[in-house]
Amino acid sequence: MKKPQEMHQKHQGYCLGIESSADDFGVGIAGFDGEILANKSDSYIPIEGGIHPREAARHHAEVADRVLKDALNAADLKPSDLSSIAFAQGPGLGPSLRTGATVARALASYLRIPLVGVNHSVAHIEIGKLKTGVTDPVTLYASGGNTMVTAFEAGRYRVFGETLDIALGNCLDVFAREAGLKNQKGLPLGAAVERLAAKGKNLVSLPYVVKGMDMSLSGLLTAATTQIKMGSCCLEDVCYSLQEHAFSMVTEVTERALAHTEKKEVLLTGGVAANKRLQSMLNVIAEDHNAKFSVVPLEFATDNGAMIAWTGVLAFSHGLVTPIDESYVKLRWRVDKVDVPWIH
Ligand code: AMP
Ligand code: MG
């Protein structure tokens, strides 16, 4: 990232943000005061199995112009009202990220306004802070592709613990598919597991793996799937047990980060934040440590363009822009590699 030219220093207009790191293509528009004027998206739904990166990218290319138009209409803005274009530069799936980056580069070049590459994980944290009012939380970011516990320390969001293999949302999604649950528009697989789990009564023993501050979820997934295949217990009980084990693991790590940092806020963000059982476990540990628990509103929990637009505003207003020749996507761009000069 480079310092913008002086001509770009005036903070006015709006930032349009493009999210395309995985299955969602989202466009959001944010003002410099934190106002979110639009948040539109279209999601790729695999016919079978998980996300196919090239198919997701094809979906994004097909819907991009319509989602862009929807966002501008919702905000009641013209392209000339925009003062910067932000995009998710990573982490994520290469073909998906590249499609969003291409749209962003084209728009920024055509409109002759700055381009701002945004870290997708930082954006999940920042939209959570904006929408809940928390300022310095320990954050559990749990989604289809990421699971980590972070907190701000010395210029960056530091990772206190993370999954060593698969993400929490991915664990729930793969289990759901193995159990025969189907992708349905409007009902994520994780939410289908949550519904069944609410009817479960018996706790089945499954692997619980926390190593230091990191966790491993793949053994848990295999064991839960095996229970279903063997037919040794009912689906509701396995869903319940899977949730209890997986959520206890991420909650344990979050609690230890809270005890260590002595922060006074706990934030839950990412697609899995929609889960009521996970929310209630985190609420308990927050209360135990006299901290306030907050969860990002559902619209901003899953991948969305508004979070990229808002983080673009934060970066741009603190002098960060991304020259076109540095706008290549970064598939494994870790949250703790990103300077966040807007936090002091
Ligand atoms: P994201 O990757 O942030 O777009 O979030 C998508 C992930 O959130 C998927 O793995 C979903 O299954 C998961 N998810 C959505 N709603 C729920 C829920 N109610 N409980 C658990 N996971 C959920
Ligand atoms: Mg998604």
Q: Domain spanning 6-125+303-337 has what CATH number?
A: 3.30.420.40
Class of domain 134-300: alpha beta
* DSSP class per residue in 44-95: ---SSSS--HHHHHHHHHHHHHHHHHHHHHHHT--GGGEEEEEEEEESS-HH
Query: Amino acid identity of 144?
Result: G
- Whether residue 4 is predicted with pLDDT greater than 70 in this model: the reply is no
Q: Which of 272, 300, 308 to mutate to test the pocket of ligand 1 (most atoms within 8 A of CB)?
A: 272
Are 254 and 266 contacting, i.e. CB atoms less than 8 angstroms apart?
Answer: yes
pTM for this entry:
0.96
Q: Classify strands 214-215 and 210-211 as parallel, antiparallel or unpaired.
A: antiparallel
What is the 188 CA–ligand 2 centroid distance (Å)? 10
Q: Is the four-CA dihedral 64, 70, 72, 74 of positive or negative sign?
A: negative
Index of the ligand 1 atom closest to the CA of residue 303: 4
Task: Answer yes or no: is the C-beta of 128 below 6 A from any ligand 1 atom.
Answer: no
Task: Give all strands of the β-sheet with 115-119 in edge-to-edge order.
Answer: 36-43, 24-31, 14-19, 82-90, 115-119
109-162 confidence digits (pLDDT tens): 999 999 999 999 999 999 999 999 999 999 999 999 999 999 999 999 999 999
Same fold, 6-125+303-337 and 134-300: yes
Task: Answer yes or no: is the C-beta of 271 below 6 A from any ligand 1 atom.
Answer: yes
Are 67 and 26 contacting, i.e. CB atoms less than 8 angstroms apart?
Answer: yes
Query: Relative to the alpha carbon of 42, which ligand is closest?
Result: 2
Q: What pLDDT does residue 12 have?
A: 79
> 78 pLDDT band (50/70/90 cuts)?
very high
Task: Answer yes or no: is the C-beta of 92 below 6 A from any ligand 1 atom.
Answer: no
Domain boundaries, the chain: 6-125+303-337, 134-300
DSSP conformation class of 165? S
Q: Is the four-CA dihedral 138, 279, 25, 48 of positive or negative sign?
A: positive
82-94 confidence digits (pLDDT tens): 999 999 999 999 9
The total number of residues written for the chain in this structure:
344
